[in-house]
Amino acid sequence: MPSGIIGYGAYIPMYRIRASEIAKMWGKSPEAVPIKEKAVAGPDEDVATIAVEASLNALARAGIDPSEIGAVHVGTESKPYAVKSTGITVAEAIGASRMITCADYELACKAGTEALQTCLSHVESGFAKYGLAIGVDTAQGRPGDELEYTAASGGAAFIVGLDNLLAVCEGRCSWSSDTPDFWRREGQKYPVHAGRFTGAPAYFKHIINAAKALMEKLNFKPEDFTYAVFHQPNTKFPIKVAQILGFNMKQIEPGLLSPIIGNCYAGSSLLGLAAVLDVAKPDDRILVVSYGSGSGSDAFSFKVTELIEEKRDKAPLVKHYIERKVYIDYATYAKFRGKINLG
């Protein structure tokens, strides 16, 4: 019996900072910024609160008793605690079973899809009736670094199971290699990246290989997909990788959120998937390919069912969170994100 998604939910904090505001701070050209604006977690928000919000939305769409969830996996690289499970906090907050397996995942920006892979496997094996997979981050970018323009906050949650599917998982695969393009060592506040090395040998190589491997496995071509979502570290990369693989703008536009919310790291490709599910029709096919530095990509093919129509409006759409915004200046942003050193 195929596994798939029975409920999904998103959450994006309401604060926004324009990339041009960040450029102004560092004396950079406002034309050279990689996105328009990004979402910023407020002072009372963190990965756990965002994960809970997204999970409650997923539960509303799934229409299940949370105590039937037997696995909770959170993928993130901005855990509130280095040692103390965020997954357990989320499970407790939403009323999941005490008999759960729970772990936090880290593989940079693909930790969320890694959680999704695991939850799908749990339900397929019969280990859990339902699994909750969350990709979420309040991403860190060192002040003045290129990453500061894009590192954003947000997340998406997916409840998976074997029945009442709103999207069937038709297949999935991963492609990984030891590629040091981005990392954060123990004790460091901000990650380090290898500049242009994050492009061709990292992002593009892994996404292209994972996507091609999945399409070959399923005997699909780009035109067989209604939509495609690729990890979104900026505006340029997902558009370029789509072109390389043979997808057009119409296929990727509904899931392309990075220009207006930034890169939510482990939440990035999953938020894109949530946005596509918000507009998808029954029988639409969706390709999702994540990328996590270090490096690896997970590729999924989902086919939307007729249940999407009745479940969709049981929780806020991604669009709702995108339109709900309050602009902040750099000083407020620096305060919210703990960038001010109080000595």
**Which letter, b or e, does each residue of 64-103 get, where b requires 16 or more Cβ atoms within 10 Å of its Cβ?**
bebeebbbbbbbbbbbeeeeebbbbbbbebbebbeebbbe
Size of residue set near another protein by CB under 8 A: 10
Q: How is the beta sheet containing 15-18 ordered, strand by strand?
A: 37-40, 15-18, 326-327
Smaller CB separation from another protein, 63 or 201: 201
For residue 148, what are its two tokens? 């500061």
To another protein, the closest distance from the beta carbon of 183 in angstroms equals 13
29 makes contact with another protein (CB under 8 A): yes
Q: Of 21, 37, 53, 77, which is the active-site residue?
A: 77
Task: Based on the residue annotation, tell me whether 77 is a catalytic residue of this protein.
Answer: yes
Smaller CB separation from another protein, 87 or 141: 141
Give SS3 for 283. Answer: coil
Smaller CB separation from another protein, 2 or 144: 144
31 makes contact with another protein (CB under 8 A): yes
To another protein, the closest distance from the beta carbon of 29 in angstroms equals 4
Q: Of 37, 45, 102, 109, which is the active-site residue?
A: 109
Task: Give the x-and-dash track for 180-209 against another protein (CB under 8 A).
Answer: -------------xxxxx--xx--------
Smaller CB separation from another protein, 124 or 146: 146
Site for another protein in 200-259 (CB under 8 A): 200-201
Site of tokens 């570290």? 233
For residue 19, what are its two tokens? 């990339």
Smaller CB separation from another protein, 25 or 194: 194
Give SS3 for 84. Answer: coil
Helix, strand, coil proportions of the chain in percent (round to 5)? 40, 25, 35
Q: Of 122, 193, 206, 231, which is the active-site residue?
A: 231
To another protein, the closest distance from the beta carbon of 26 in angstroms equals 12
The neighbouring-strand residues paired with 158 are 8, 133
Cβ atoms 271, 10 nearer than 8 A: yes
Task: Based on the residue annotation, tell me whether 109 is a catalytic residue of this protein.
Answer: yes
Neighbouring C-beta atoms of residue 327, cutoff 10 Å:
13
Known catalytic residues? 77, 109, 231
- Residues in contact with another protein by CB under 8 A are 29, 31-32, 193-197, 200-201
